[in-house]
C-alpha cells in the first residue's frame, strides 16, 4: 500500500522546513535506515531516514522548496510492483482530528483522514489572511499588502498569481499627508531572500524583547591570573604529546560560568506562569556565528567536566555547528548562555535573553589598562562582561551576586582545576 512521507518536526519549535536535497530518486529501492533527504530547519540541516523498506515512488515537493509546513506530504513510497499515485491522498469526506506532530522520517498511511477544506475555512477567524507561503514571500519582497487582495485560490486563498497581479498594478498615489516610499537607488541594492534560520532568529528575538522584561548588569573582570593559568596548562598539555590539547580563554570562561551557577543557583532558572524551574545541571549554551545567523550548541553539565573535556567538546560542537551537522539534542535545552565577541575587539555589549533561559552573559574583549589596586596603580588586562537577565525570574541583587561570583572565579582561577 502506498504511504506518504511527511515533512517531519525535527525540533519542538519547527513549524516549517526546506527540502535542501533529495538523496533518493524516483524508482530507487529504499531500505530501512536509508537517508532520504536533507531538511533545512531553523537551526541546522538534518537528515531524514526511512523507517521501512520499499520503492521511492514519487517526489511531491521539489528540492529547494522553502516554507513546507510540518506534516505536509513530501514524497510517496510504494511496495514492489505497486502502482505509484500521482499525488497525495485526497481529503476525506468528514472532519477528523489533526494528526500528532510527525517524528523524523515518520510516514503516515496514504488514506489518513484530513479535515475537509470547508471545515477548515469555517474554523478560521474572520480577520485572518489566508495565503500560501509562496504568496507571502512574494508579497514581502514586492511590498504588497495582502489584506487588500482577494484570493482566487481554493476557498479564497491568496496564491502567487494574485500577488503578482497586484504588484504589476501602478502604485496608488499617496494620500494627503502621507509620504510615498522613496525608490531605491538603481544598482545600489540587491535582495537576498531570508533563510529559514534567519526568519526564526528574527521572530524569536522579537518575541524575547517584546515579552521578557530585560535588565542588564555590567562588571569589569581582570584576566591576567586566568591567562597565566591557561599558559601553564597549555604548556603541560604540549608535553603530553599525542594527547595534547589547547585551551582557549572561552573554554575557561564556560567553566567559570558553570561554577558561578552552582554558587548562585537562582540564576540557573526558567520562568513559567505557574512556577520557577531551577535546573540542577549547568548546561551552557555557547553562541556560534554562522554565515546566515547563529546557533547555540550546548556544553552539558559543564560544572562537572574538566577544562580538557570542555575544550574538546566545545571545539567539536563548533566545528559541527558550522558544518550544519548538529543533532537536535546538541543545541536544544541549555540553561544559561554565553556570547563572546571579544575576538572582534568589542568593548562592551548586551545580548538578548534566549527563552526559556533566564540569563545570558555577554563577554567583550580584554584590554590592557591602568587599574587601582589598594593605594597603587597597576596595568592589568580587563574585560567588561554584561549579564542580561529576565527580571521575572531573577532580581537585580541576585544578578549582581552571580556576576560577583563569576568575577571572583576568573580572578582566582585555581577553582577551575580543583
Domain boundaries, the chain: 3-114, 124-170, 213-416
pLDDT of residue 116: 36
Q: Tell which CATH architecture fits domain 3-114.
A: Beta Barrel (2.40)
Place of cell 538523496: 23
**pTM for the model:** 0.64
Same topology between domain 3-114 and domain 213-416: no
Q: State the cell numbers at 309.
A: 573535556
**pLDDT score for 92:** 40
Q: Which three cell numbers stand for residue 305?
A: 567536566
Active-site residue, selected from the candidate residues 194, 214, 279, 391:
391
Pick the closest to residue 387 from 262, 279, 260, 251 (CA basis): 260
Is 3.30.559.10 the CATH number for 213-416? Answer: yes
Query: Residue 143 contacts by C-beta under 8 Å, 6 or more apart in sequence?
Result: 181
Q: What is the pLDDT of residue 180?
A: 46
Q: Is 214 a catalytic residue?
A: no
What is the chain's pLDDT, residue by residue, as a tens digit (418 residues)? Answer: 678 888 888 776 778 888 988 999 888 998 888 889 988 877 677 788 887 888 888 899 998 888 888 889 998 888 887 887 766 554 443 334 444 444 444 433 333 333 333 333 333 444 567 777 677 878 877 778 888 888 887 667 787 788 888 887 765 544 444 444 555 455 578 888 888 788 888 988 999 999 999 999 999 999 999 999 999 999 987 766 656 679 999 999 999 999 999 999 999 999 999 999 999 999 999 999 988 789 999 999 999 999 999 999 999 999 999 888 888 889 999 999 999 999 999 999 999 999 999 999 999 999 999 999 889 999 999 999 999 999 999 999 999 999 999 999 999 999 999 8
3-state secondary structure of 277: strand
Residues in a beta bridge with 295: 288
What CATH number is given for 124-170 in this structure?
Answer: 4.10.320.10
Of how many residues is the chain composed?
Answer: 418
Dump the DSSP string for 15-27. SEEEEEEE-S-TT
Nearest Cα to Cα of residue 147 among 133, 131, 161? 131
Amino acid at each position: 500500500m502506498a504511504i506518504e512521507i511527511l515533512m517531519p518536526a525535527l525540533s519542538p519549535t519547527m513549524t516549517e522546513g526546506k527540502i535542501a536535497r533529495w538523496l533518493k530518486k524516483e524508482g530507487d529501492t529504499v531500505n530501512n535506515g536509508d537517508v532520504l533527504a536533507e531538511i533545512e530547519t531553523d537551526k541546522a540541516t538534518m537528515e531524514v531516514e526511512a523507517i521501512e523498506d520499499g520503492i521511492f515512488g514519487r517526489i511531491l515537493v521539489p528540492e529547494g522548496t522553502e516554507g513546507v509546513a510540518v506534516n505536509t506530504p513530501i514524497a510517496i513510497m510504494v511496495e514492489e510492483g505497486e502502482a505509484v499515485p500521482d499525488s497525495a491522498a485526497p481529503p476525506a469526506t468528514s472532519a477528523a482530528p489533526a494528526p500528532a506532530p510527525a517524528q523524523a522520517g515518520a510516514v503516515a498511511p496514504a488514506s489518513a483522514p484530513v479535515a475537509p477544506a470547508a471545515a477548515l475555512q469555517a474554523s478560521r477567524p474572520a480577520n485572518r489572511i489566508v495565503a500560501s507561503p509562496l504568496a507571502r514571500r512574494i508579497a514581502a519582497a514586492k511590498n504588497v499588502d495582502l489584506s487588500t487582495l482577494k484570493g482566487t485560490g481554493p476557498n479564497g486563498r491568496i496564491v502567487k498569481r494574485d500577488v503578482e497581479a497586484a504588484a504589476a498594478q501602478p502604485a496608488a498615489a499617496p494620500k494627503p499627508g502621507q509620504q510615498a516610499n522613496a525608490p531605491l537607488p538603481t544598482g545600489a541594492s540587491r535582495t537576498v531572500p531570508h533563510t529559514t534560520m534567519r526568519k526564526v532568529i528574527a521572530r524569536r528575538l522579537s518575541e524575547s524583547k517584546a515579552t521578557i522584561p530585560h535588565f542588564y548588569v555590567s562588571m569589569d573582570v581582570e584576566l591576567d591570573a586566568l591567562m597565566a593559568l591557561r599558559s601553564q596548562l597549555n604548556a603541560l598539555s604540549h608535553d603530553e604529546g599525542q594527547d595534547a590539547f589547547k585551551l582557549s580563554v572561552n573554554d575557561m570562561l564556560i567553566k567559570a560560568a558553570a561554577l558561578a551557577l552552582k554558587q548562585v543557583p537562582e540564576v540557573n532558572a526558567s520562568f513559567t506562569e505557574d512556577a520557577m524551574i531551577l535546573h540542577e545541571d549547568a548546561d551552557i549554551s555557547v553562541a556560534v556565528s554562522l554565515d546566515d545567523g547563529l546557533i547555540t550548541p550546548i556544553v552539558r553539565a559543564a560544572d562537572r567536566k574538566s577544562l580538557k573535556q570542555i575544550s574538546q567538546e566545545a571545539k567539536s560542537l563548533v566545528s559541527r555547528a558550522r558544518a550544519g551537522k548538529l543533532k537536535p539534542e546538541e543545541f536544544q535545552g541549555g540553561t544559561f548562555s554565553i556570547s563572546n565577541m571579544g575576538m572582534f575587539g568589542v568593548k562592551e555589549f548586551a545580548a538578548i535573553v534566549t527563552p526559556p533561559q533566564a540569563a545570558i552573559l555577554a563577554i567583550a574583549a580584554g584590554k590592557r589598562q591602568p587599574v587601582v589596586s589598594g593605594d597603587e596603580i597597576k596595568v592589568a588586562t580587563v574585560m567588561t562582561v554584561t549579564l542580561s537577565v529576565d527580571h521575572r525570574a531573577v532580581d537585580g541583587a541576585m544578578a549582581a551576586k552571580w556576576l560577583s561570583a563569576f568575577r571572583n572565579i576568573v580572578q582566582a582561577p585555581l577553582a577551575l582545576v580543583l
